[in-house]
Amino acid sequence: MSLGNQNLTDISGQQAITSPGMAHWAGTGPRGKTCGNCAYLKTKTIDFVTGRCDKYRQMMRKEGPAIPARSLACKYFEPCKTINQSITSR
């Protein structure tokens, strides 16, 4: 599900690919990086397909919905400190 009002005529591509629960617009982070590579993606599901963004939780003061690990990274992207912390996109 994308963000934005479908009645608006100027829906950007970033809005179209951004999932609710992301800290900022998808695609505004480092090129080629995904949420699955980001240290803020917490409570990852056992199949490593989705997770919850801790940056969203910090800013909104509530936990957001799970986001796909393959989502393009946003501007708050932080690289994982260890390779095992990262989720590869599918």
Residues that bind ligand SF4 (CB under 6 A): 22-23, 29, 35, 38, 40-41, 53, 55-56, 73-74, 76-77
Quote the least distance from Cβ 55 to ligand SF4, whole Å.
4
Q: How far is the CB of 37 from ligand SF4 (least distance, A)?
A: 8
In the DSSP assignment, the letter for residue 28 is S
Q: Which two tokens stand for residue 47?
A: 């199949």
Q: Which is nearer to ligand SF4, 11 or 44 (CB)?
A: 44
The SS3 assignment for 2 reads coil
The minimum distance between CB 4 and ligand SF4, in angstroms, equals 16
Residue 72 contacts residue 29 (beta carbons within 8 Å): yes
Bridge partners of 78, per DSSP, are none
For ligand SF4, the closer CB: 22 or 86: 22
Task: Read off the amino acid at residue 61.
Answer: R
